[in-house]
Amino acid sequence: MTSFLVLFILVLLSIAIWQLTKIFDLTQIGQSSDNTQIANDNDNKVNGYLMFAFLVFIYLTTIVCIVKYGDLPLMSGSASVHGKDVDQLMWISMILIFVVQTITQALLHYFAFKYRGRKGQTAMYFADNNKLEFIWSSIPAVVLAVLIFYGLYAWTDIMFVDEDEDTIVIELYAKQFGWEARYSGKDNVLGKANVRYIEGVNTVGVDLADPNAQDDIVVNELHLPKGKRVVFKIRSQDVLHSAYMPHFRAQMNCVPGMVTQFSFIPNMTTSEMRETEDMITKVNRINQIREKKNTQLVAEGKTPLDPYTFDYLLLCNKICGASHYNMQMKVVVDTPEEFKTWLKDKPTLVQAVKDANAAPADAEKPNVTNDSTTAKADTTVVAQVEMK
Ligand SMILES: [Cu+2]
């Protein structure tokens, strides 16, 4: 401890001495003729040209990126009806940002060069110029207003659900770290749910006594019928998550304690999307990379990677914990007929709970009750007995 204190004092002392020499240096400014601390005309000239060099650097980087990576299909065509509007909004914003930044960066660096410091040169000063201020305030105001109103219009359009429209209601249930989907069944109404009802196979906490819950079906793979509006009711069990389905241009927060909503109409089945030119290029590119990697893996005696096939995904887009990166669920868009067949033989949650309860011997069966207070009291008693 003493040696640490001595070391600490020594470090503090050396910092103090260093600072003192700096102060001494500053007091010497102006006293000698060859002082290198003050920028002279030559330094300003070098910095002026460096500003130009930086401008060339950022423009060249942009051009190289566009030429080299511009054809990479980062995200191919959207798979939902409203997706086109989102993409259009995105394109307009990106083009606008690109044009404005190209012009303003050029001006910024050019003026930094043109008005670099020179001996004897003083800056022109004027208090205000109404015309100039009007121009630089009104142009961004008008452009931003157009963008914002267009965005608001698109958003209201996307979020609007016609009450008379033929829809299918599906619940997305988020928890650390996975997803579950609950189909509302024939009545198209989801049964009530609450975390207090979570028990055994009833992992999403459905109130099994609710008449609307009798035909609810819980699954781990999301299937959607093409061409029909799907209304997602989104819940979270623990923390903030975000239901993100990039191919459908859909995202909505999952907030514990409330139900959020998003809806869209899928307009491309999984197999149709797999056959698009962009997707074929993308999949081929990924598989080429995997093949290269596989030769290396095989050489190291490890298991090679499987070839990649495209699937839609539901991802979590809020950093919600350690395994957030892996919080995903496969989404399959079927034709309406395929969808019907897929859903037909899925057991309802009520049935699944019954089956699970029938499995153990009757005597060991826990007292299933929907009254959470009694359930809690029961466990307390058990705990007290165990303590004795
Ligand atoms: Cu998450």
What is the residue extent of each domain of the chain? 41-119+127-159, 167-273+309-351
Cα–ligand 1 centroid distance for 332 (angstroms): 20
Q: What pLDDT, on a 0 to 100 scale, did the predictor assign at position 359?
A: 73
Q: What pLDDT, on a 0 to 100 scale, did the predictor assign at position 199?
A: 81
Q: What pLDDT, on a 0 to 100 scale, did the predictor assign at position 27?
A: 76
Cα–ligand 1 centroid distance for 119 (angstroms): 60
Over the chain, what is the mean pLDDT?
Answer: 84
User: What does the pLDDT average to over 116-121?
Assistant: 83
Kindly tell me if the per-residue pLDDT of 314 is higher than 80. Answer: yes
Q: What pLDDT, on a 0 to 100 scale, did the predictor assign at position 7?
A: 92
Kindly tell me if the per-residue pLDDT of 384 is higher than 50. Answer: no
User: What does the pLDDT average to over 204-209?
Assistant: 83
Cα–ligand 1 centroid distance for 239 (angstroms): 8
Annotate 344-369 with b (16+ C-beta within 10 A) or e (fewer): eeeebbbebbeeeeeeeeeeeeeeee
Q: Which residues contact 171 (CB under 8 A, 6 or more apart)?
A: 181, 182, 184, 190, 193, 204, 232, 233, 234, 235
User: What does the pLDDT average to over 110-134?
Assistant: 86
Kindly tell me if the per-residue pLDDT of 385 is higher than 50. Answer: no
Q: Alpha carbon of 124 to those of 115, 121, 168, 235: distances in Å?
A: 11, 9, 68, 61
Task: For 234-255, write each residue's pLDDT tens digit.
Answer: 999 989 999 999 999 999 999 9
> To 5 degrees, how large is the angle CA 94–CA 99–CA 105?
115
Cα–ligand 1 centroid distance for 114 (angstroms): 51
Task: Please tell me the pTM assigned to this model.
Answer: 0.72
Q: What pLDDT, on a 0 to 100 scale, did the predictor assign at position 3?
A: 87
Task: For 11-47, write each residue's pLDDT tens digit.
Answer: 999 999 999 888 887 777 666 555 666 778 888 889 9
Class of domain 167-273+309-351: mainly beta
CA within 13 Å, CB half, 102 = 11
Cα–ligand 1 centroid distance for 255 (angstroms): 11
CA within 13 Å, CB half, 220 = 6
Cα–ligand 1 centroid distance for 229 (angstroms): 25
